[in-house]
């Protein structure tokens, strides 16, 4: 399984650029926490939540080109790739928009799409995620079957000693 937000695209960066353009990469590195929105004040958070409610925000996210290549290479090898992602419940059209976005940018169809707020319960050969806590919990759940999550390295988790990881 592959997480979407943070692995296939950045849902954080466009939002931070829109509501908190003063934040720098140095701020994110110093924060060293997965929840970058903890850096926002109350007004900035209100602006962010308003944007997240719009399906156009999710529709217009740019995929990471490297992620597109990775997914295409896995699919060429007949490896089934499942998008495992936490839904944004504040956007009424989010699920429909996410399905279309995954099909358009990664050729991942609805049968290979798993929306869940609890990724730990999803069994797969591997899980690629940018949230260290999710990698730890998923691995603890499935390690008795020899499974281990793969951390997708980002600005806020690169100091972790988690292995394996990809960039």
Beta bridge pairs of residue 83: 2, 113
pLDDT at 10: 86
The answer on pLDDT for 76 being more than 90 is: yes
The end-to-end CA distance of the chain, in Å, is 16
pLDDT in tens, 106-148: 999 999 999 999 999 999 999 999 998 999 999 999 999 999 9
pLDDT in tens, 17-52: 888 888 777 777 676 666 777 788 899 889 888 988
14 contact partners, CB below 8 Å, separation of at least 6:
57, 61, 62
Place of tokens 């597109």: 68
Neighbours of 50 (CB within 10 A): 12
Nearest to 6 by CA among 119, 161, 141, 167: 167
Would you tell me the crossing angle of helices 12-19 and 42-52 to the nearest 10 degrees? 130
What pTM value is reported for the model?
Answer: 0.86
Strands 128-129 and 150-152: parallel
Proportion of the chain above pLDDT 90, given as a percent: 61
Whether residue 114 contacts residue 84, with contact meaning beta carbons closer than 8 Å, is answered with yes
Helix (H) or strand (E) holding 165: strand 165-166
Whether residue 152 contacts residue 3, with contact meaning beta carbons closer than 8 Å, is answered with yes
């Amino acid at each position: 399984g592959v997480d979407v937000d943070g692995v296939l695209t950045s849902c954080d960066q466009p939002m931070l650029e829109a509501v908190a353009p003063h934040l720098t990469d140095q701020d994110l590195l110093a924060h060293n926490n997965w929840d970058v929105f903890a850096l926002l004040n109350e007004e900035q958070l209100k602006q962010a939540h308003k944007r997240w409610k719009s399906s156009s925000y999710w529709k217009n996210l740019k995929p990471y080109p490297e992620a597109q290549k990775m997914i295409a290479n896995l699919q060429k090898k007949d490896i089934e790739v499942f998008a495992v992602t936490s839904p944004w419940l504040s956007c009424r059209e989010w699920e429909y928009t996410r399905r279309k976005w995954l099909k358009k940018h990664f050729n991942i169809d609805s049968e290979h799409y798993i929306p869940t707020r609890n990724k730990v319960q999803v069994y797969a050969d591997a899980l690629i995620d940018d949230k260290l806590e999710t990698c730890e919990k998923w691995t603890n759940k499935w390690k008795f079957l020899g499974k281990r999550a793969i951390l997708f390295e980002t600005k806020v988790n690169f100091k972790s000693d988690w292995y394996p990881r990809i960039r």
